[in-house]
Amino acid sequence: MTQSLISSIFSTTPNDNISLDGYTAILANGVFPSSPIALQFFLKTPRLICCDGSVRHACEHGRAPDYIVGDCDSISYEDKLRFQNKVVQISEQETNDLNKAFRYCLSKNWRDIVILGATGKREDHTLGNISYLVDFACDAEEVVMATDNGLFCVLKEPGIIETKPGVQVSIFSFDPNQEITSEGLKFPLNNLRLPRWRSATLNETLGDRFSLQFVPSSPLLLFFAFQG
């Protein structure tokens, strides 16, 4: 996993002006982000892709979309007409608009992606969007999902993550037989399997880095909570 965003936000010397060169933001149609970091992603990424219903929120918060992607069942007639040259309509119903927007980014070779507005409304949509993140990470260089409370990311290989002391981190595995070992966390994992999503939540970093070791049969989903 490229750790540029994680280290910029959660390291001992966080970068207040995060470099977002080369990143694309996807704005889903959940609750519009309000945390300072999520808003920075919204305002400063070079490209903004709106899932079709989110274009209204983007414009209300001062940014027009570069593209609007989806099945166009939730975009207003006025917005569809206004942005007619930016609309990419994909009618199939096997995937949701977030998935459609992500695949569109891949078709343009935009592989560093920040997802916004993917949580906060219907809980089934929230869970579905979060679970998509692991699939997305298999094809992207870096993909993260920012909420008002923190940042979801995916660890595809064992490794060391630079943070700072006292950062709350939750670890989720989609493979209940996967054994995970940690160093540098308040509650150590020692060849621990995570049969439930709650099994390794609300842990905490002890120093300026921690490591996770596992046989990468399946990527790990991590959530880092914003501080302050």
Kind of pairing, strands 220-225 and 168-173? antiparallel
Q: Give me the mean pLDDT over the 5-19 stretch.
A: 69
Is the confidence at residue 69, as pLDDT, over 50? yes
Is the confidence at residue 2, as pLDDT, over 50? no
Quick one: pLDDT band at residue 168, thresholds 50, 70, 90?
very high
CA distance 189 to 9: 24
User: Which region among 44-58, 80-94, 171-185 has the lowest average model confidence (pLDDT)?
Assistant: 80-94
Is the confidence at residue 166, as pLDDT, over 80? yes
First to last CA, the chain: 26
Quick one: pLDDT band at residue 7, thresholds 50, 70, 90?
confident
Handedness of CA 72, 74, 75, 76 (dihedral sign): positive
Quick one: pLDDT band at residue 13, thresholds 50, 70, 90?
low
Q: Are residues 68 and 88 in contact, defined by beta-carbon separation less than 8 angstroms?
A: yes
Distances in Å between the Cα of 146 and the Cα atoms of 5, 15, 130, 217 are 11, 16, 11, 25
For 117-227, where are the E strands, in sequence order?
142-146, 150-155, 159-162, 168-173, 179-183, 192-193, 200-204, 209-214, 220-225
Q: Give me the mean pLDDT over the 96-108 stretch.
A: 94
Q: Tell me, what amino acid is at 74?
A: S
Q: What is the pLDDT of residues 133-157, one digit of tens each?
A: 999 998 998 999 999 999 999 999 9
CA distance 147 to 149: 5
* Alpha helices (runs of H) in the chain, residue ranges in sequence order: 4-10, 36-44, 55-60, 77-82, 97-107, 123-137
CA distance 136 to 32: 21
Q: What is the pLDDT of residues 18-58, one digit of tens each?
A: 778 899 999 999 999 999 899 999 999 999 999 988 999 99
**pTM here?**
0.92
On average, the pLDDT of the chain sits at 90
CA distance 179 to 163: 23
Is the confidence at residue 114, as pLDDT, over 80? yes
Q: Give me the mean pLDDT over the 108-119 stretch.
A: 95
User: Residue 88 phi/psi, 5° resolution?
Assistant: -115, 100
Q: Tell me, what amino acid is at 85?
A: N
Q: How many CA atoms lie within 13 A of 106 on its CB side?
A: 15
